[in-house]
Structure formats: structure tokens, C-alpha cells
Amino acid sequence: GFWMLIQDTLGQGATLYPPQLAGLALKGDNNSRLQAHFRGVELLDENGQLLADSLLRIPPAGSKRLYLQVDGLRASGEYAGTLQVAAPDAAAVQYEVNLFVKKGWLLAALFIGLGVALSYLMRYYSTQERPKLVNKRRIIDL
């Protein structure tokens, strides 16, 4: 997800529909785009409270900080979409947005740990156990 700041710059206040995220797609090689698969989008206020589908009221010369959370994006990478902000008495305004999604570090740390453990076991075998087996084989061959 991402934070956004909606600000009244005219000093008149504003009433807006909740911002909508449309056309979210995973950017691929050579600027190709694949439709993004996700569970849903939630709009939260700065206190983490879920905003219903009611209108947002921005006070004169004020602002409102919102968090748009996209749930269930499966693939990591760069996503591009359009954020649409509309008001009952004005035309909708669209903004291009980019989201960068990364997988958690825990899985990578697990594989690194397994690689280190396997390397240690191979080194232990080649320096400790294998020479013993080679010496046993020589004794048996005598």
C-alpha cells in the first residue's frame, strides 16, 4: 500500500468520493503489463481506521492523510495503476501510481541458512570423515 495526502489548495474546503485504484497491472519486460491479481483494496485514515464508502470532507486549507492498502498481490515486482479522485460537483482527476512489491526476507534467510549448514556439513565430511574412510579402505586392501 501507500500513503497519500489530499490537500485543499483553494481554501474553500472539499467533499470527495473515496479515491479508487483502477487498472492495476504488473509491469513486465519491455514495458509489457500483466493484469494484477489481488483480493481487494482498503482505504484507511491516519489512525488505521477503515473508511466506509462515505464522502471525505476536507476542511478549508486543510488536508487529509489516507493509506491505500492493496491486499493479496501474489507476485513481487513493479505494479502500475491509476488513482482516481472524484467529487460530486467536479470531474474526476486521475493520477498514475507505481507500487513496488517485495517478498519477505524470512524465506531468503531460510535458504541462506540452509546453504551455510550444507556447506559446513560438506566441509566437515571432506576434512574429517572421508580421510578416515580412505584410511580404513587402505587397511582392508592390505
| pLDDT, tens only, 29-73 | 887 887 788 888 888 888 888 887 788 889 999 998 999 888 888
Phi/psi at 111 (5° precision):
-65, -40
Judge whether 14 and 59 are in contact, CB under 8 Å: no
- Whole-model pTM over 0.75: no
Alpha-carbon radius of gyration of the chain = 28
Cβ neighbourhood burial of 33 (10 Å; 0-12, 13-18, 19+): middle
Give the per-residue pLDDT at 69: 87
CATH code, 2-101: 2.60.40.3480
| pLDDT, tens only, 81-127 | 999 999 998 889 999 998 888 877 898 899 999 999 999 999 999 99
How many whole angstroms separate alpha carbon 47 and alpha carbon 67? 10
Domain layout of the chain by residue ranges = 2-101, 104-142
Give the per-residue pLDDT at 114: 97
